[in-house]
Copies of this chain bind each other. A is one copy, B any other.
């Protein structure tokens, strides 16, 4: 989902009354970022509070390459990483993940081995259908075991876009919340729905209801579901005791537009890029009785902050034996403070850009290669800014491209290198960058090796279902990350 996909963020069809209400009753973040322009690394960052380059969710197979966890990936979340649910457990929380995990699908990466108590969802994206020979269909798990596979037991109609998955995820969420309320136990629910990820889907009751087509139908269903979850919290009388945050893991995938791609509002490019369209996200905090209604914050926020903020809410300290990139947003949310902190825009192993205040310095620019672009792979459809949306990797480390995101949110007008404003801002940002790089201990890259043998051939539980498939011989290779 992109920054421009919600009514509260200016989407012209205004079809998200529930999320807009959530914003009106809570706090809207206008300068909130994800940790990576791609899904898996962002989610790893959200749950560890650490940049992907630290927690291992990146690749060194190429320079500045976007990598994730397809089903032939060998790596996943290392045991050495401490995940939010592992920590919350110590404070008595029951933790559930509903939806996409995406932090590795081999046994050692299972979410219930990393702090979650319950799981309903899948380890990888809902791509397919596959033939179960070349590659298996993606499994859907309940807790430790697979209970079926997408396209086989959990239908997704690629032609009509119909799938009832969001309804299943919603019901799981409502049931979990009811159960926790009944038992008076605190809970952490990671509701990781994926209806707006291509192949985009919506339930029958939402198909055709949006001005925006199938993508809008999916957004409407998510919006409706969020409304039902918030109402449920209120009806159970626990809304004033439950902190809710809504955000996304990367900008809208413009490459899937118009049928399956969303909107990044006035920002440049989309998913896969380190321009604003790739990493600035819709974000809303809601906690009636605590967060003043109708608040709007310009705090530079990041999904990693949800790690630190959640710990703070639970009365826990973040781990002191490692670098945590997230910050505690409670002073921002509850007292309206602004905390000075930079945003780092990584693409794989390269720090592409840094934002401090309203200034953003690009040390590298790249959209994608000419070769890919000539094949129609376009992360910036209809947009082209000379010297900025480059199709070769352009190094600007000696003289970064500097933008003022207040005057120029669309990153179209680099400041003059000769200006005093440029000198002052770049000096400041380059200091932050040096500090960051000097102390950086990169994690072991997890997204380098791919192997057909590790795919979801025989997940736990496959025997009961008669759905075990035969894995091919192991043949580890460097994963290919074209962009």
Contact = CB atoms under 8 A, between A and B. Distances in A.
B258 A12 contact: no
B268 A265 contact: no
Interface of A is mostly: loop
A358 interface: yes
B412 A257 contact: yes
5 contacts: A9-B10, A12-B265, A213-B407, A266-B266, A268-B382
Interface string A364-380: 00000000000000000
A10 B265 contact: yes
A386 to B, nearest CB: 9
A186 interface: no
A268 B404 CA distance: 22
Interface residues of A, number: 38
A330 interface: no
A480 interface: no
A385 B13 CA distance: 22
A232 interface: no
Contact of A4 (B10, B210, B407): B10
Contacts of A263: 266, 409
Interface in A401-429: 404, 406-410, 412-413
Contacts of A408: 257-258
A167 interface: no
Interface string A244-277: 0000000000000111000101101000000000
A383 interface: yes
A128 interface: no
Given A12-B30, A12-B266, A259-B407, 9 more contacts: A10-B266, A13-B298, A212-B406, A257-B408, A258-B404, A258-B412, A258-B413, A381-B412, A384-B384
B10 A211 contact: no
Interface of A: 4, 9-14, 30-31, 210-213, 215-216, 257-259, 263, 265-266, 268, 296, 298, 358, 381-385, 404, 406-410, 412-413
Contacts of A14: 30, 296
Nearest to A386: B382
Contact of A266 (B4, B213, B384): B4
Kindly list the 3 A-B residue pairs having the minimum CB-CB distance in the complex, ordered from nearest: A10-B10, A211-B406, A213-B407
Nearest to A211: B406
A157 B165 CA distance: 60
A332 to B, nearest CB: 15
A81 to B, nearest CB: 33
Contact of A10 (B11, B210, B406): B11
Nearest to A403: B258
A404 to B, nearest CB: 7
A424 to B, nearest CB: 16
B212 A407 contact: yes
Contact of A382 (B31, B298, B383): B383
A211 B359 CA distance: 11
A406 B216 contact: yes
A192 to B, nearest CB: 26
A408 B381 CA distance: 12
A385 B254 CA distance: 14
Nearest to A31: B12
A12 B31 CA distance: 8
A12 B264 CA distance: 12
A294 to B, nearest CB: 9
A28 to B, nearest CB: 8
A41 B166 CA distance: 50
Contacts of A413: 257-258
